[in-house]
Chain A
Amino acid sequence: MEIDERFSQVSAMLFGRMLGNMEDYCEWLLSTAHEARMVEKKSIASDRKVYVPSAKFFLGLGSRVMAADEALRHGEKSISEADAGALGLANAAVKLSGISATTPEIIYSENIGTSKSCAYGPTQHCYRVACCWFSKYIAYSYWTRTSDSLFGCSLCTDCGFSIKCYSSTKLTRCFEVNDSNRCSDSYFCHNCEDMSECMFCFNAKGKRYAIGNVELGRGKYMEIKKKVLASIASELEAKKSLKYDIYNIGTAAV
């Protein structure tokens, strides 16, 4: 699939090594984007699979789900006028049971090569995404908008070529960044703005070549970055996972 190839390219951009088969990393990618985890359900109208994301307001639908086209056909059924007159909150679940099953599949506009997803459009080559709008090459992600090439991300807008980033806007080539805005080529950063080439920065703005909020200069930064990325890539290749994420590094050394 095109998305696999893109995952390899983005991993090479971020870690200097192509990580290989994306599916091997799915548990790691979903570990901090839990709402993107798809629960597979069987349609009550056919044998088709329906993908329901793990966000609370989707899971609430329970098992009475069906595919989008099946739901529209199901919508042709109605209750009688007499039943409508007798409806109340106490008996609604029973009286409406013949018409109330619905779909989590919200498919908007034109989509090319997007699969095993729910609530999306227009998209190209997305895989296992939920609430993904105006985006391409997104996988294992939740609520992404106007973005390109994201993996294991949630709540990212105008972002690209990033892995495991959350609640951020305008990130490019970032890894494990959350609550941030306009950052590029940065790793393990929280609540940062206008940063480039930074690692392990917290609550900082406008820095470049910084580690731990301290600007080091290009030479020193690149020397350390090379060592850190090599160890990240080795752990990922060996374990298909990394024990650190942006949420746990604050307590990891304690």
Chain B
Amino acid sequence: MLNKNAQSNGLAILAIEKAWAGTCKAVLGGGLPPMRELEAYLSRHAEACHVEKSSISGKPLVAFGNYPPGTKFMRGAEILEYEALMRNSKLGINDIKDIDSAIRAVSEIGIYAGDIVLGNSGNVVDSTRVVDSTNIFRSSDVIYSKNVAYTRIAKYCESVFGCASAGKGTMFAIGCNEMYMSNRTFECFYIYSSSDVCYSANIENCQDCLFSFNQRGKRRLIGNRELSADKYAQLKSKLLSEAKDMLSSRKSVPSIYEIIRGD
């Protein structure tokens, strides 16, 4: 069973790495290191899940939430073992007189589930609260999505990596937050109904924006300045190749927030 699980996790990670390579090609022109080599970079925007140990099987699991030390966990797939265990527990139901006695009476059954994967989901590794989604790695609260890694909150998304709050229609995003109906984005905050946007914030209905802020319905912007197609393509190629080189050599790049804050 363990080998089978390890094998299926391996296949899942291969599928997610393949999606990562495709996303890098779509967003930055390709040639980036494997996703797991950039784990620290990709984990910086989303609140991280924590790894716990199942009190039923001893296997590791992923949970999300403010659980105090000493909390007992189980994997979502261990429900039958949990039910068998609970059949032998003795609840002091007749002793319940108030909230304190109720909590004492039910203390034995208080095991929290991690690795919660529901609906028609597959290839889910080290993630929790995943519903109807495929190829998910180290993420939580992922619904109706595929190819998602190091992300918290993704709904109706495809190929999002290192993101938080990726809303409906977010596709091919790296290091982006608060997104909606947007394609091919890198290091962004609050991008709605836009495509090919990098290092930008508060952008709606725009295409081809680099280092731009607070824009509506524009295209080919760098630093909020509209450029000719040739000039834009030339500068975009230079800036993205710099980002790509930095990601390859330093395994990180400055974040959109550092640029907004002027760090």
- Residues of A contacting B164 in the complex (Cβ-Cβ under 8 angstroms): 55-57
Q: Cβ of A89 and Cβ of B253 under 8 Å apart?
A: yes
Q: Cβ of A253 and Cβ of B107 under 8 Å apart?
A: yes
Chain B residue at minimal CB-CB distance from A253: B107
Chain B stretch 214-229: residues in CB contact (< 8 A) with chain A: 214-216, 221-225, 227
Q: Is A112 an interface residue (CB 8 A)?
A: no
Q: Is A61 an interface residue (CB 8 A)?
A: yes
Given A56-B47, A57-B178, A211-B106, A88 and B239 touching (CB < 8 A)? yes
- Residues of A contacting B70 in the complex (Cβ-Cβ under 8 angstroms): 251, 254
Interface-side segment among A3-11, A18-26, A92-100: A92-100
Chain A residue at minimal CB-CB distance from B89: A212
Please give the distance in Å from B49's CB to the nearest CB on chain A: 12
Q: Cβ of B99 and Cβ of A228 under 8 Å apart?
A: yes
A-side interface residues, number (CB < 8 Å): 77
- Residues of A contacting B165 in the complex (Cβ-Cβ under 8 angstroms): 55, 57, 131, 143
Given A200-B106, A253-B104, A84 and B215 touching (CB < 8 A)? no
Given A96-B223, A167-B129, A228-B96, A87 and B211 touching (CB < 8 A)? yes
Q: Cβ of A224 and Cβ of B224 under 8 Å apart?
A: no
Contact partner of B262 (CB less than 8 A), chosen from A77, A94, A247, is A94
Given A84-B227, A87-B223, A228 and B71 touching (CB < 8 A)? no
Chain A stretch 86-114: residues in CB contact (< 8 A) with chain B: 87-89, 92-97, 99-104, 106
Q: Cβ of B177 and Cβ of A57 under 8 Å apart?
A: yes
Interface-side segment among B7-15, B21-29, B34-42, B111-119: B111-119
Q: Can you name 9 A-B pairs with beta carbons within 8 Å?
A: A61-B260, A87-B239, A89-B243, A95-B223, A96-B259, A102-B214, A250-B67, A251-B69, A253-B110
Give chain A's interface residues, CB within 8 Å of chain B. 32, 34, 55-57, 60-64, 71-72, 74-75, 77-81, 83-85, 87-89, 92-97, 99-104, 106, 119, 131, 143, 155, 166-167, 178-179, 181, 190-191, 199-203, 211-214, 216, 220, 224, 227-228, 230-232, 235, 242, 244, 247-254
